[in-house]
Amino acid sequence: MSTIIVLGAGMVGSTMAIDMAKNHSVTLTDFNKKALEKAVSKCDRLIPIQLDVTNKTKLQKTIKPFDLVICAVPGFLGFETLRSIIEAEKNVIDISFFPENCFELNELAKQNNVSAIVDCGVAPGMGNIILGYYNEKLKLTDFECLVGGLPKVKKWPFCYKAPFSPIDVIEEYTRPARYVENGVMVTKDALTDCEYVDFDGVGTLESFNSDGLRSIIFTMPHIKNMKEKTLRYPGHVEYVKVLKESGFFNEEKINFNGNEVSPLEFTSKILFDEWKLDENEEEITVMRITLKGTNSNGELKTIVYNLHDEYCAETNTSSMARTTGYTATAAANLFLDELFIEKGVFSPELVGKHENCFNYILNYLKERKVIYNKQEL
């Protein structure tokens, strides 16, 4: 039995802590005492500690006795928290999805003999792992990831619910999307190139440009075409575009009746209740990974992985927490079982390229009924 500390007791952090507590001693930390109490009410084996991760000295002292750190703090805290963990010479699995370049910490991790696996969720995460594996098997030319989290019950007008803050979703809708086309990186506006795609069990969804490639832009420069698109129910994009083009997502404050108001903050406040995913509300995660390339015999191959996952009523766990969190706990157990021992900072594709790691993660997820169905065309 190993000792694990999980930083962040939100929806995904608490799910990971509960999963790890099946076989390990787990301490769960958060600044929010109520979040800790809620997690412990679901699993009394968890050891709660109230912690402010921005207090570097306290953070490094707290994590010192543990075998492994799992970091699930908000993205804006992620990079500096990861730096503090690496400086404390602790191995770490990270799903904070920070905007900074993770590889800036690679040399520090090597110097401190640390293994850090980052972006280890569903997307980024499992899509990268699949890509890493097939990059060793095929001469790849194309990679496409279509992914989205959706409420099971559609409510007009947006037909959308988010397990996180609307301001984070809006940031995804405003950040330019980076793609690779014919070997050249191109930048497109988010919400563009809208296409309709059919999925079993859901029906027709719309896909649109979003900035989700992250590390593979740098680790897979030989693949000529790469893109990730977000999935929503049809009609969602048009309503969001109306808000965006009308200035509701602008950060610059305006004067309204003598008060300085940011349109973005105002819009986020209005949308919070509209987009809030209620506790125990059923939702689904849909993902399709498509890879194209040639095998050693020069034969063209198309590999497709489909995921359709739903809220688990048995454990009261959201699909987004399951698909994201269990990928990270698979990586954590993989590391604890010493199947991955390299030192430095690693994005998921650099782990998935090892066949034993790839199979371990898929089997771990299958045991938790998160199933990726493969087709070879």
CATH number (domain holding residue 111): 3.40.50.720
**If we measure between CA atoms, which residue out of 227, 228, 234, 165 comes closest to residue 203?**
234
Any domain includes 140: yes
Average confidence score pLDDT of the chain: 95
Query: In terms of domains, do 285 and 194 share one?
Result: yes
Any domain includes 183: yes
Query: In terms of domains, do 187 and 302 share one?
Result: yes
Query: In terms of domains, do 46 and 71 share one?
Result: yes
In this predicted model, what pLDDT tens digit does every residue of 206-261 receive, in sequence order?
999 999 999 999 999 999 999 999 999 999 999 999 999 999 999 999 998 888 99
Any domain includes 85: yes
Query: In terms of domains, do 340 and 328 share one?
Result: yes
The residues facing 305 across adjacent strands are: 289, 374
| Segments forming the whole domain that contains residue 265 | 126-310
CATH number (domain holding residue 287): 3.30.360.10
Any domain includes 104: yes
- Residues 316-342, mean pLDDT to the nearest whole number: 96
Query: In terms of domains, do 106 and 132 share one?
Result: no
In this predicted model, what pLDDT tens digit does every residue of 141-200 receive, in sequence order?
999 999 999 999 999 999 999 877 777 888 889 999 999 999 999 999 999 999 999 999
Q: How many domains does the chain have?
A: 2
Query: In terms of domains, do 116 and 144 share one?
Result: no
Looking at 310, 334, 357, the residue that finishes a domain is: 310
C-alpha distances out from residue 14 to 41, 91, 144, 157, 265, Å: 11, 19, 30, 31, 28
Query: In terms of domains, do 231 and 333 share one?
Result: no
Query: In terms of domains, do 182 and 62 share one?
Result: no
Query: In terms of domains, do 157 and 61 share one?
Result: no
> From the CA atom positions of the chain, what is the Rg in Å?
20
Could you give the CA distance from residue 104 to residue 113 in angstroms, rounded to a whole number? 16
Coil, strand or helix: which one is 172? Answer: helix
- Residues 106-121, mean pLDDT to the nearest whole number: 98
pLDDT value for 256: 86
Q: Which residue has the tokens 């409510």?
A: 155
Any domain includes 315: no
Any domain includes 263: yes
Query: In terms of domains, do 93 and 192 share one?
Result: no
- Determine the residue type at 355: E
Query: In terms of domains, do 294 and 165 share one?
Result: yes
pLDDT at 328 over 80: yes
C-alpha distances out from residue 208 to 37, 76, 85, 113, 239, Å: 39, 25, 36, 41, 13
Any domain includes 79: yes
Looking at 310, 339, 355, the residue that finishes a domain is: 310
pLDDT at 29 over 90: yes
Looking at 310, 333, 364, the residue that finishes a domain is: 310
pLDDT value for 169: 87
Any domain includes 316: no
Query: In terms of domains, do 41 and 106 share one?
Result: yes
